Amino acid sequence: MNRRYRKTIIAGNWKMNKTATETKKFAEELKALLPKAKWCDVVVCVPAVNISAAMKAFKDMRVSIGAENLFYEKSGAYTGEWSADMLKDLGVKYVIIGHSERRQYFGETDFTVNKKVHAALEAGLHPIICVGESLEQRELGITMELIALQVKSALAGVPAEKLRKCVIAYEPVWAIGTGKTATSEQAAEVCTFIRTTVRHLYGARIARSITIQYGGSMKASNAAELLAQPDIDGGLIGGAALKADEFVDIINAANQD
């Protein structure tokens, strides 16, 4: 973390978990445990059908609501999809884009990720852009090339003044939901490389101000060490964000000096 130059953001990614009723219960539990003073921003990304319930449940708390996806067109005949404007209108602040599960199961590509990033920014949302290599890619030694390609294609055509609204999440696919966390050295190496890539594209000032998260089995026991790395400015957390006490333990780790 480097709080002097950029925000620390702890974001939960609920994936396809929790009903509206369970959302309300989680918010009540979180409210009781959330520290008063927070030096990090807290975001909860929920399934789209639960956004309204989440807006209501978290309304008195300093917690922003995020979505897990959007479609890039503004409106039209796209059965089953929702637009950036629809999310914005509900009060959503962040939206996860290009999560590896969407790339793997729902045909998301670097091209659609780029279109979604543009749609999110146009609506005034903060995209959390996910990038990350598979185990095979890591073993082939092409991690950095792949990450550079993902970052560059996600940000293609994004003007510098909009970049401040973007968050990049480094999520090694082999560490997601597997209990296998990247070592802090591995995570730091790639997050630093992402910042360097942004610096080459947009210059030092913007690169210094962008929040870069780590995601992939982040939990209370490893959060402090990961967040101690200067280029890791927060976490995108799946499993450990589903229980209020575990989520708060990670928020507390981000609150340390």
- The stretch near ligand PGA (CB under 6 A) out of 24-32, 70-78, 195-203, 234-242 is 234-242
Tell me phi and psi for residue 253, to 5 degrees.
-65, -35
Binding to ligand PGA (CB under 6 A): which residues in 147-186? 171, 176-177
Tell me if 66 contacts ligand PGA by CB under 6 A: no
Strand partners, 43: 11, 64
Choice between 11 and 207, CB closer to ligand PGA: 11
Residue whose C-alpha is closest to residue 44's, from 60, 26, 25, 64:
64
C-alpha dihedral (140, 146, 147, 152), degrees to nearest 10: 170
Please give the single-letter amino acid code of residue 124.
G
- Selected from 217, 222, 229, 252, the binder of ligand PGA by CB under 6 A is 217
Catalytic residue among 68, 99, 101, 118: 99
Please give the single-letter amino acid code of residue 200.
H
- DSSP-derived letter for residue 25 is H
Residue closest to ligand PGA (Cβ): 238
Tell me if 216 contacts ligand PGA by CB under 6 A: yes
- Selected from 98, 127, 234, 239, the binder of ligand PGA by CB under 6 A is 239
Q: 189 catalytic, yes or no?
A: no
Q: 99 catalytic, yes or no?
A: yes
Residue whose C-alpha is closest to residue 170's, from 201, 138, 139:
138
Residue 123: count other Cβ atoms within 10 Å of its Cβ. Answer: 18
- Selected from 1, 6, 10, 13, the binder of ligand PGA by CB under 6 A is 13
Choice between 190 and 207, CB closer to ligand PGA: 190
Q: How, if at all, do strands 9-13 and 94-97 pair?
A: unpaired
Residues annotated catalytic, as ranges = 99, 171
Question: Which residues of this chain interact with ligand PGA, rule CB under 6 A?
Answer: 13, 171, 176-177, 215-218, 236-240
